[in-house]
Structure 1
Amino acid sequence: MNVGIVAQKGNSRAAYLAADMREALAGVDVDAVVDAATAEELGIDGIPVESLGECDLVVSIGGDGTFLYAARGADGVPILGVNLGEVGFLNAVSPADAIDEVLAEVAAHRDGTQSVREVPRIVARGEDWEMDPSMNEVVVHGPRRGHGGGAGLEIRVDGSLYTGGHADGVLVTTPAGSSAYNLSEGGPLVHPGVEGLVVTEMAAREGMPSLVVPLDATVSVTVTDAESAVVVGDGRTRRTVSSPTEIRIEQSDSPVRLAGPTSDFFEALGKLD
């Protein structure tokens, strides 16, 4: 069995926990590898995060950002999230329990009793391109935000017009991402048990309220009145497209798979500023 470990970059506490975890896993005949940044911190060999899909289990040590980073490379491999004091919507395991939980997942994997939950991701597509799946949100905005920026936007759900007009942009968010960028733009919190997507305009001149649509809906954003548009997935992947253009955002066929205990959504809410 192979376990991949991703520690929060620049966080020595996370790196040291990764080192202790490697040692514990070696004691039960498990090969444990770390991502390249963690390897540099520890002075050992590592692997690119894109290679995590070759593992049987991935452990993310840090905050939700680290989890999203690990999930991008895990490619369907179950992920166990260890929370280092952040809000922790995606990371249910405390540092004190981390090694015991990982060893429990190893045992469950070996005897065939491992329980894994799936969390949906969304993907943005154009006429001849497709971005990597996003776990939190896809943002479409004009070439720049703020005064004098934005673009003309037309938003359709399964082909039916919802709203249109000038705005900085639009967010399409999964329930997992509702507490992130979406919340800062005035969108609603969504319980992770809800199977839906949230559509939220950003600084619209005459906007409509945020809209929750079915998880299998296709949200189409047509951008006009701008030289270009920018599509951003989870704040990490970015693509600039010419305008006018239509971007389709819909559920990906590649969900994230979560291992280990479930985080308490309402307890995590209490940590929000």
Structure 2
Amino acid sequence: MNVGIVAQKGNTRATALAEELREQLSAVDASVTLDEATGRSLGLDGRPVETLGDCDLIVSIGGDGTFLFAASGADGTPILGVNLGEVGFLNAVGPDDAVEAVLAEVAAVRDGDQRVRVVPRLVAVGDGWRSDPATNEIVVQGGRRGRGGGVDLEVRLDGSLYTSGHADGLLVSTPTGSTAYNLSERGPLVHPSVGGLVVNEMCPDEGMPPLLVAPDATVTVTVNAVGGWGASGGRLGNDDGTTDDAVVVSDGKHSYPVEPPTEVEIRRAETPLRIAGPSSDFFEALNKLD
């Protein structure tokens, strides 16, 4: 039994809890693998987070950002989140209950009766490249937003044209990510029990409202050009007359520059996210957004 531990970087409380969990897991004959940053904070060896997928369980200690970081290397391994943050949509276990919850999860894995919640992730595919899976959202946008930025795009849903025109970009969100970037772009909240993907244009010149589509829908984004239009009808760009490439961003961390004209296909990833432990209270977490 091997448990991976990922603690929020620079958080002494998270580091102390990681050390306590390491000691408690050792007492029940479970080995522990730390990610590199957690290992450094404890003066021990660690591994890149991308290699933790061979663990039987991963414990994330911190906020939702730490959970997303751990998920980037989980590759389907169940993750139990300990919430030291403010909101906690993904982290349902409080720090005072962390040891008990982790040991109970270890026992469940060993007994073969572990129960996990399976939530979808997204992947973007382009010409010769493929993004890392995204738990929250994938964004296709210009190299910059606002005046002189943005992209000319066409959006198709399972092959049918939904919208076209100029916008800062397009965001495709999972239900999990509906409370994150999607919400700041005036997209709808989606309860975790509701399947589907949110397709949300970002500051379009003339656009369609956000749309909830089937969870297995394929969103195809054709990026035709980058940059805005000036009053004279010319394409605005940088001061030197150039324009930036468009960029595809996975969960706000992994970026993939693309040169128009190009086509990006966004769809559900083959490997979902598996969340271990108790469920968080969606509406309680919503109240913490204020």
TM-score using structure 2 length: 0.93
- Residue 171 of structure 1 aligns with which residue? 171
Q: How does 1:137-216 map onto structure 2 within 5 Å?
A: 137-216=137-216
1:217-265 CA-to-partner distances (Å, cap 9, x unmatched) read 0001111122531000001110001101110000011101111101110
Q: Which amino acid aligns with 1:156?
A: R
Q: Tell me how far 1:208 sits from its aligned partner.
A: 1.0
Q: Any idea what the Cα deviations from partners look like across 1:72-121, whole Å, max 9, x if unmatched?
A: 11111110000003210000000000010000001111111111121100
1:14 corresponds to: 14
CA distance in 2, matches of 1:237, 1:154: 23
Aligned to 1:268: 285
3-state SS in 2 of match to 1:178:
helix
Q: How many residues align?
A: 273
What CA distance in whole angstroms lies between the structure 1 residues aligned with 2:132 and 2:54? 18
> Could you list the per-position Cα deviations for residues 191-238 of structure 1 after superposition, in whole angstroms to 9, with x for gaps in the alignment?
011110001111111121100000000001111122531000001110
- SS for the counterpart of 2:24 is helix
**Identity level (%):** 66
Q: Does residue 76 of the first structure (1) align with residue 76 of the second (2)?
A: yes
Q: Which runs of 4+ in 1 moved over 3 A?
A: none
User: Amino acid of the residue matched to residue 100 of structure 2?
Assistant: D
Name the CA distance, whole Å, in 1 between partners of 2:128 and 2:48: 28
Q: CA deviation at 1:143?
A: 2.1
2:238 aligns to what? none
Aligned AA (2:285): A
Instruction: Tell me how far 1:127 sits from its aligned partner.
Output: 2.5
Distance 1:51 1:247 in 2: 27
Aligned to 2:233: none
Q: Aligned partner of 2:143: which letter?
A: P
Equivalent residue in structure 1 for 2:260, among 240, 243, 247: 243
- Structure 1 residue 47 corresponds to structure 2 residue 47: yes
Deviates more, 1:178-187 or 1:45-54: 45-54
> Unaligned 5+ residue runs, structure 2?
227-242
3-state SS of the aligned residue for 1:38? helix
Q: Is 1:65 matched up with 2:65?
A: yes
Structure 2: which amino acid aligns with 1:19? E
- Greater displacement, 262-271 / 221-230: 221-230
Q: Which of the pair has more CA radius of gyration?
A: 2
1:130, 1:85 → 2: CA distance? 31
Distance 2:144 2:111 in 1: 53
Corresponding residue SS for 1:162:
strand
Deviations 1:53-77 (A, max 9, x none): 1110000001111111101111111
The residue type paired with residue 243 of structure 1 is P
What secondary structure sits across from 2:204 in the alignment?
Answer: coil
Question: Contact 2:83/2:93 (CA < 8 Å) preserved in 1?
Answer: yes
Structure 2: which amino acid aligns with 1:244? P
Select the residue among 247, 252, 257 that pairs with 2:274.
257
Deviation by residue 1:105-148 (Cα, 9 ceiling, x = unmatched): 01111111111121100100013211111010000001211111
Gaps of 5+ in 1: none
SS of equivalent residue, structure 1 residue 165: strand
CA RMSD of aligned residues (A): 0.9
Find the residue that maps to 2:139 and give its secondary structure: strand
